[in-house]
Amino acid sequence: MSRVAVIGAGSVGSTIAFALLIQRISSEILMVDIVQETAKGQVSDLSDANFIASNHVRVGTFEEAGQSDIIIITAGAKQKPNETRLDLIDRNYKILDNVIGSMKPINPNAILLLVSNPVDILTHIAQKLSGLPKNQVFGSGTFLDSARLRRKLSSILGVSENAIHCYSLGEHGDSQIIAWNSASVGGKPLLEFPEIAILDKELIAKEISNKANEIIKLKGATFFGIAGCVSLVVQSIIFNQRHIRPLSTYIEEYGCVFSMPVVLGRNGIEKVIDIDLNQEEKDKLKQSSKILREICAKYT
Ligand SMILES: NC(=O)c1ccc[n+]([C@@H]2O[C@H](COP(=O)([O-])OP(=O)(O)OC[C@H]3O[C@@H](n4cnc5c(N)ncnc54)[C@H](O)[C@@H]3O)[C@@H](O)[C@H]2O)c1
């Protein structure tokens, strides 16, 4: 038995609910939105797909959300074309503060999963505002960027995405890095594949970090990819699968919240993997952590 609450019933929240529903991941899904009609409309629409599974989808209150097993926060403003995720902080900080305040007292065993942007900074703030242990409060981070990267590499190498171990790490935003040096395919270092050796790595990194912007220019929002990623995160928690995913969590070495590969299980983040990074990758992450720390300092 598991109850998942989705706060924010817009494009991302409703697509996450749909992904959870059709994959039969949780037994109950609550939709919560500041605009009651939006939550009501999404529940009514989602319930039309209920014949696929037997989950229960209904409108929930903030108090009920606070007592759920997993709370997914998608409430907030989204980027307009050419806005960065960091540009959303003022608007989304206020919304997050309201949402967490309205859910209190929060179930001490709940997992709080941040999806709203800027996800790293909001995760850091949510760790403080919620009072929950840090391993229970984390963000979707660069899971989506890493999925985009693996898709790209899969098309170049002609192997399944599942066989590619390569991560985008750091900020879910412009300063993220690709951990090329630790990447492997079928036990062989990724950089030893001739197709990869000749690639313009900077160009690939830019293409991956800019993909959301390209989609936003075309259709105004992104929601399918993130819904796929979040549904796997929820599945990993509910079924204690201990998958390794790049998620946004507090990283002691860098003194900030951003993405590193973590082991994900019933208690949330069970362990951060100490991935091998070369000096250039570490330097870029240090630079990125400085930007995130400075912004966080204004809000915490
Ligand atoms: N982390 C990721 O990889 C990723 C990917 C895509 C989108 N996002 C982010 O997800 C967020 C939502 O995007 P969207 O496309 O669903 O936007 P949207 O505008 O479609 O939906 C946002 C919803 O939040 C609701 N909301 C606003 N304030 C609220 C409050 N105080 N309490 C409850 N609900 C409230 C709105 O009424 C709206 O229904 C954005 O911040 C976006 O940048 C993150």
pLDDT 10s digits, 182-201:
999 999 999 999 999 999 99
- Over residues 215-266, the pLDDT tens digits come to 999 999 999 999 999 999 999 999 999 999 999 999 999 999 999 999 999 9
Q: Does the Cβ of 230 fall within 6 Å of ligand 1?
A: no
What pLDDT, on the 0 to 100 scale, is given for residue 55?
A: 79
CATH code for the domain defined by 143-296: 3.90.110.10
Best residue for ligand 1 mutational test, from 74, 95, 123 (most atoms within 8 Å of Cβ): 74
| CA–CA gap between residue 295 and residue 50 (Å, rounded) | 42
Q: Which CATH fold topology does 3-139 show? A: Rossmann fold (3.40.50)
Q: Is pLDDT at 51 greater than 90 in this prediction?
A: no
Contact 57, 43 (CB under 8 A): yes
Question: Is any atom of ligand 1 closer than 6 Å to the C-beta of 10?
Answer: yes
pTM of the predicted model as reported, rounded to 2 decimal places: 0.97
* Distance of alpha carbon 174 from alpha carbon 244, whole angstroms: 23
Beta bridge partners of 184: 165, 189
pLDDT digits (tens, 9 = 90+) for 136-153: 999 999 999 999 999 999
Which alpha helices (DSSP H) does 23-88 contain, by range?
36-47, 62-66
The reported pLDDT for the residue numbered 84 is 87
Closest atom, ligand 1, to C-alpha of 39:
39
Q: Which of 35, 78, 114, 210 to mutate to test the pocket of ligand 1 (most atoms within 8 A of CB)?
A: 78
pLDDT of residue 1 exceeding 80: no
Residues assigned a catalytic role: 172
| Spatial contact of 59 and 30, defined as CB atoms under 8 Å apart | yes
Which residues carry a binding-site annotation for NAD(+)?
A: 8-13, 33, 92, 115-117
Cα–Cα dist 137/67, whole Å: 15
Q: What is the mean pLDDT of the chain?
A: 96
Q: From the CB of 141, is ligand 1 less than 6 Å away? A: no
Average pLDDT over residues 36-49: 97
Residues 51-59 have a mean pLDDT of: 88
Give the per-residue pLDDT at 80: 86
pLDDT digits (tens, 9 = 90+) for 283-297: 999 999 999 999 999
Whether the per-residue pLDDT at 119 is higher than 80: the answer is yes
Q: Structural domain boundaries of the chain?
A: 3-139, 143-296
Write the residue with the smallest CA distance to atom 30 of ligand 1.
Answer: 34
User: In this predicted structure, what is the pLDDT of residue 52?
Assistant: 86
